[in-house]
Amino acid sequence: MSDDSRPTPAPARTAAVIPAAGRGVRLGPGAPKALRTLGGTPMLIHAVRAMAASRAVSLVVVVAPPDGTAEVKSLLDAHALPDRTDFLVVPGGDTRQESVRLGLEALPPGHDIVLVHDAARPLVPVDTVDAVIEAVRDGAPAVVPALPLADTVKEVEPARTAGDPEPVVATPERARLRAVQTPQGFDRETLVRAHGSVTDDVTDDASMVEQLGLTVVVVPGHEEAFKVTRPLDLVLAEAVLARRRLNDGF
Ligand SMILES: Nc1ccn([C@@H]2O[C@H](COP(=O)(O)OP(=O)(O)OP(=O)(O)O)[C@@H](O)[C@H]2O)c(=O)n1
Ligand SMILES: C[C@](O)(CO)[C@H](O)COP(=O)(O)O
């Protein structure tokens, strides 16, 4: 058989894990952040739709607040979602890291690429999702979407007592810094290994892969993939949604 007649291997299947078990303390009192609405629709549903909008994503695992699994299942049933995508809901843990690990443990075999996407980034465009998947398909073990910074960043000596001054110890060169978003994309085996072996507290999954000594690749992020963290972010998210609806003519 000549090389040309060999069957082309099927593209790796992609699953998305959405950690959505946080309380949203910085957003202020109210329901868990992922269940609060944006344009009348729960933030989590926006995030699920953002992942399912990619034709490459065939499974979405939602990591729900531990006391909110049934509510999240009902929300998924009540909102229109693509038929080509399967959905699973599992209860989350005390930290984002633990919630992601629980989501990973629930993944059935057959998905070789895993995206990890914050429910708190409901408006990421599908082109960003696809760019992350493509970079993993091209061979990167870990991929993050990222943007250059607008602010200068200072490293400080953190105050030991609240209210004490925090002296600046360094000013990293801004041109070398990037603000990292989600979805972060991984070769599944690499992400499972990272979550199995890194026990330090980390703020994203890619840094666990860095700790394995592997290279993490950056692709362009998007301004609309910002994280809804504080009350003002909700104002921006509502404005972005309103502009999209105007542009889409509904
Ligand atoms: N125990 C946790 C904590 C966070 N997350 C998820 O991780 C993402 C990013 O976390 P963040 O924006 O910090 O959310 P919260 O932890 O909810 O926010 P806060 O720190 O203000 O309470 C969110 O989608 C959040 O639901 C999670 O699944 N499980
Ligand atoms: C994963 C993340 O969104 C990348 O920027 C971020 O680190 C999450 O931080 P949070 O404090 O858990 O929201």
Q: What is the pLDDT of residues 125-158, one digit of tens each?
A: 999 999 999 999 999 999 999 999 999 999 999 9
Structure tokens at 73: 């299942």
Is 47 touching ligand 1 by the criterion CB < 6 Å? no
Cis peptide before 9 (omega within 30 of 0): no
pLDDT of residue 101: 98
Segment 161-172 shows an average pLDDT of: 95
Phi, psi angles (nearest 5°) of residue 214:
-95, 160
pLDDT of residue 5: 74
ipTM field: 0.98
Alpha carbon of 65 to ligand 1 centroid (Å): 10
pLDDT of residue 11: 73
Is 72 touching ligand 1 by the criterion CB < 6 Å? no
Alpha carbon of 70 to ligand 2 centroid (Å): 25
pLDDT of residue 39: 96
Q: Answer whether residue 167 shows pLDDT above 70.
A: yes
Q: What is the pLDDT of residues 28-55, one digit of tens each?
A: 999 999 999 999 999 999 999 999 999 9
Taking the CA of residue 95 as reference, the ligand 1 atom at the shortest distance is 1
How many CA atoms lie less than 13 Å away from 174 in the CB half-sphere? 8
Could you give the CA distance from residue 177 to residue 163 in angstroms, rounded to a whole number?
Answer: 28
The pLDDT confidence band at residue 248, using thresholds 50, 70 and 90, is: confident
